[in-house]
């Protein structure tokens, strides 16, 4: 099976080839003989009933400083592509939402991973509320009085923007912290969105576990331990990756949410678990597969492509312009 694959993402030239999940997916696609195209989200267009992209064919190799070779730009009709990987980083803003609407025009005849309609309706910090029984005590609101009441009830808490990503804007507010009102005012001044407030989970000191699910099934995990002076465990802010396995509770969480992921066409998903609680379901551009590959001696990107190819089915007869 040889597929035409377009990857919608941020610039390829700047990725960290030792950590970037999309780079690993591109390498595996190339190994399988698939043809690769790259385009930036801003180069996605609707033109007279067709969804097109100004894309560049490319090849990748695991060589730092020389990891990608890009061809000349060309306009491709995305209806002539077999698979589109929607892999640009958040923020989940109107530009992101607009891209999902455009990709809806070609999916599922062209398989978009993940399903654009489901991505649009499953922002990470809101989708998780469908599984309230798995979450820590949580409040989503604009109302500062509601936040103060939550603080009186739970004391130590985490405050974060509902559409933030990568740990940006995540604050721990302790019971005796006098900056809560000022922080809320700052958020409200610069962000026109509600805040998510959650009871602080001291288990974060042992790690925030990223679990990768492929087609609704858990395939591996990496534990991310925050630095001594940090609340956030994200690797790019100093978190340390550790080898891990799933606890029975984490297996139960995956079993509970897996059918909903599969039903919605969410093939590649990363969930975050702290202690016994599910905190986020990441469907936009999940990461973590390279760390899991190294710790566990697996090739998660191969599992993901197996799932994609099974849904794409058969050898393509589509032809891109040359």
Where along the chain do its domains lie?
A: 4-117, 137-200, 203-301
Based on the residue annotation, tell me whether 280 is a catalytic residue of this protein.
yes
CA 206/CA 93 separation, integer angstroms: 32
Based on the residue annotation, tell me whether 165 is a catalytic residue of this protein.
no
Q: Single out the catalytic residue among 56, 87, 120, 125.
A: 125
What is the dihedral sign for C-alpha 202, 204, 207, 211? positive
Q: Single out the catalytic residue among 224, 293, 303, 312.
A: 224
Nearest to 116 by CA among 126, 106, 103: 103
Based on the residue annotation, tell me whether 251 is a catalytic residue of this protein.
no
Q: Single out the catalytic residue among 282, 291, 309, 312.
A: 282
Compute the half-sphere exposure of residue 104: CA atoms within 13 Å on the CB side of its CA: 13
Domain 137-200 class, CATH top level:
alpha beta
Q: Single out the catalytic residue among 28, 250, 272, 301.
A: 272
Q: Single out the catalytic residue among 56, 120, 151, 160.
A: 160
Q: Single out the catalytic residue among 87, 209, 232, 312.
A: 232
Mean pLDDT in runs of 10 for the chain (322 residues)?
94 96 98 98 97 98 97 98 95 91 97 97 91 97 95 96 81 93 90 92 96 98 94 86 98 98 98 96 94 98 98 61 42
Based on the residue annotation, tell me whether 160 is a catalytic residue of this protein.
yes
Q: Single out the catalytic residue among 280, 293, 301, 303.
A: 280
Based on the residue annotation, tell me whether 272 is a catalytic residue of this protein.
yes
Instruction: Domain 203-301: give its CATH code.
Output: 3.30.470.20
Based on the residue annotation, tell me whether 232 is a catalytic residue of this protein.
yes
Domains 4-117 and 137-200 are alike in CATH topology? no
CATH (one of 3.40.50.20, 3.40.1190.20, 3.30.70.100, 3.20.20.70) for 4-117:
3.40.50.20
Angle at 105 between CA 14 and CA 49, to 5 degrees: 105
Q: Single out the catalytic residue among 56, 210, 219, 312.
A: 210
């Amino acid at each position: 099976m040889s597929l035409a694959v377009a990857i919608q993402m941020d610039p390829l030239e700047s990725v960290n080839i030792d950590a970037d999940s999309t780079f690993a997916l591109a390498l595996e696609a190339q190994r399988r003989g698939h043809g690769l195209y790259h385009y930036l989200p801003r180069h996605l267009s609707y033109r007279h009933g067709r969804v097109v992209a100004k894309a560049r064919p490319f090849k990748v190799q695991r060589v730092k400083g020389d990891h990608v070779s890009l061809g000349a730009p060309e306009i491709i009709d995305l209806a002539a592509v077999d698979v589109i990987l929607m892999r640009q980083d958040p923020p989940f803003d109107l530009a992101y939402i607009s891209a999902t609407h455009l990709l809806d025009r070609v999916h599922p005849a062209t398989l978009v991973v993940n399903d654009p309609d489901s991505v649009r309706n499953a922002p990470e910090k809101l989708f998780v509320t469908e599984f309230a029984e798995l979450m820590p005590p949580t409040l989503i609101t604009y109302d500062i009085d509601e936040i103060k009441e939550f603080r009186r009830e739970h004391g130590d808490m985490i405050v974060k923007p509902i559409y933030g990503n990568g740990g940006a804007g995540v604050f721990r507010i302790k019971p005796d912290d006098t900056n809560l009102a000022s922080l809320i005012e700052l958020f409200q001044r610069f962000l026109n969105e509600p805040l998510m407030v959650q009871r602080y989970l001291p288990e974060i000191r042992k790690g925030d576990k990223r679990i990768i699910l492929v087609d609704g099934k858990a395939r591996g995990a990496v534990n991310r331990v925050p630095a001594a002076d940090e609340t956030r465990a994200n690797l790019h802010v100093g978190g340390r990756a550790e080898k891990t396995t799933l606890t029975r509770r984490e297996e139960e969480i995956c079993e509970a949410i897996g059918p909903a992921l599969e039903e919605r066409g969410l093939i590649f998903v990363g969930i975050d678990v702290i202690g016994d609680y599910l905190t986020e379901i990441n469907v936009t551009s999940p990461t973590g597969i390279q760390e899991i590959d190294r710790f566990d001696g697996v090739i998660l990107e191969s599992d993901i492509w197996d799932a994609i190819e099974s849904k794409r089915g058969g050898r393509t007869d589509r032809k891109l312009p040359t």
